[in-house]
Amino acid sequence: MAVQPPRPDQRIVIENVAIATVDANDTEYARGHVVVLGNKIESVGNGPAPAWLDNVVRRINGEGHLVTPGLVNTHHHFYQWITRGLAQDNILFDWLVALYPTWARIDDRLVHAAAQGSAAALLKSGCTTASDHHYVFPKDGGDILGAEIEAVQELGMRFTALRGSMDRSKKDGGLPPDDAVEKTEDILIASEAAVDKYHDASFDSMLQIAIAPCSPFSVSTELMREAAVLARRKGVRLHTHGSETAEEEQFCKELFGMGPTDYFESTGWLGEDVWMAHCVHMNDSDIAKFAETGTGVAHCPSSNARLAAGIARVPDMLAAGVPVGLGVDGTASNESGELGTELRNALLINRLHGSPKALTARSSLRLGTMGGARVLGRQNEIGSIEVGKLADLALWKIDGIMHSSIADPVAALTLGALPPLALLLVNGNPVVEKGNLTTVNEDKIAQDCARAARELAARL
């Protein structure tokens, strides 16, 4: 059952707190307040909250804490929570070939467990909005998309469900086994049905749908073109993997006679309604095309490192004006499953380009908040702490032993260890308190995930 919105006349007040608003001016307050009315931010500023406030159901002394916008995850594969720790030393193509046979045996019951494990890890690391790219739909798997949506709604996370797909199997020159793909026509019908059933375009929507064929090496050109037409007819966004590895680039050149970005352009897959996962192997021309068209990028630093994919040119993308957000990617290639830790990993990995200013503490926080909101097309609703925006807020404890000697609160979050999460509000609702979920029993999730992992392994 979905978490219900708060009463519109009730207020939550957080005061005596450090605030990083991540607004257009990067406004910060060393000791300020945030007032939530219903599911929206009513007030943010320096000093204590206004004295006239009534209907305050909760007043929080934020001494020793930092409040930021809730983090936004732009790329994930929730189902992989129950296949973590496998194929530990493989590059992407070998890793996929090793795991496809297992993934082809999932069903809606196992996906529900895996989705709760993934969503729980995200929430406990400060993430309030997530997008999940699910693209494996076995014939006898049941209602997989419905199962993961139900699982996330039970936890209270804001969610973009990406109806993924694969129709290019080994017999057609792709990577997936034949039993892991669907027919092109069936995919388009199911994708449109998902939009019609679930997509909510309202300002405070808790559930949106995007259309997301998996990748150039698992999807036909026909599906890419028709999916773009369908998404634009229905008014929803488009997502896929792009330029993740050198092997993918070679695959595209051999099969299509061009690199990934030029291929995407030829199929109608560049634009402000599109974002790509990874984009590690991008040349100057590719970056320019993304910037000119407003095509977004989901940067997944830990997964890129786990699979030895390389280091994405994020500083160059940002300098060119490309929208960039952070992603966890599937937990079979980023076993921590946390988005909060990606703030630090993105900052450090991008400095390996050779510049200590490639990413700063604040630009890393922006990637994980406003950058992600822009990539998902929700920058007017979430991603910063501003009056009228939705009350998706993370309250981090930074006065403990791991952080108390770090003078800069934002550096404590993005350069230090991930701080304890004192409170997480999604749509004005507390979904994490003192590091623990408030909506679903964590022990039950852990037990369900362990059983699901054992059962899936036994099916292989």
Mean pLDDT for the stretch of residues 261-267: 97
Predicted model pTM: 0.97
Cα separations in angstroms, 408 against 66, 305, 351, 371, 405: 10, 28, 20, 22, 9
Mark whether 169 and 33 lie in a shared domain. no
Tell me the pLDDT band of 269, cut-offs 50, 70 and 90.
very high
Each residue's pLDDT tens digit, 314-364? 999 999 999 999 999 999 999 999 999 999 999 999 999 899 999 999 999
pLDDT class of 9 with cuts at 50, 70, 90? confident
What residues are paired with 394 via a beta bridge? Answer: 68, 424
What is the average pLDDT value for the chain, to the nearest integer?
96
Q: What CATH number should be reported for the domain holding residue 290?
A: 3.20.20.140
pLDDT (0 to 100) of residue 8: 87
Q: Domain ends where: 324, 357, 375? A: 375
- The reply to whether 149 falls in a domain is yes
Q: How many domains are there within the chain? A: 2
Residues 154 and 51 in one domain: no
Residues 357 and 408 in one domain: no
Same domain, 258 and 399: no
* 3: three-class secondary structure by DSSP: coil
Same domain, 131 and 46: no
Please, what's the largest Cα pairwise distance for the chain?
A: 69
* Cα(296)–Cα(314) distance, integer angstroms: 11
List Cα–Cα distances, 191 to 225, 228, 279, 378, 404, in angstroms: 14, 11, 25, 21, 49
- The mean pLDDT of 378-383, rounded to a whole number, is 98
In a domain, 36, yes or no: yes
Would you state the pLDDT for residue 450?
Answer: 98
Tokens of 381: 């609703």
In a domain, 442, yes or no: no
219 shares a domain with 136: yes
- Say how far apart CA 102 and CA 193 lie, in whole Å: 27
Position 28 pLDDT exceeds 70: yes
432's enclosing H/E stretch is: strand 429-433
Query: What is residue 47's predicted lDDT score, i.e. its pLDDT?
Result: 97
Q: Indicate if 240 and 311 belong to the same structural domain.
A: yes
User: Which residue range forms the structural domain that includes residue 34?
Assistant: 11-68+385-437
Pairing of strands 274-278, 127-134: unpaired
Q: What is the pLDDT of residue 374?
A: 98
Nearest by Cα to 129 from 119, 142, 116, 117: 119
CA distance 310 to 284: 16
Gyration radius from the chain CA atoms: 21
Domain assignment of residue 453, yes or no: no
- Tell me, yes or no, whether 83 and 220 share the same domain: yes
Domain-embedded: residue 391: yes
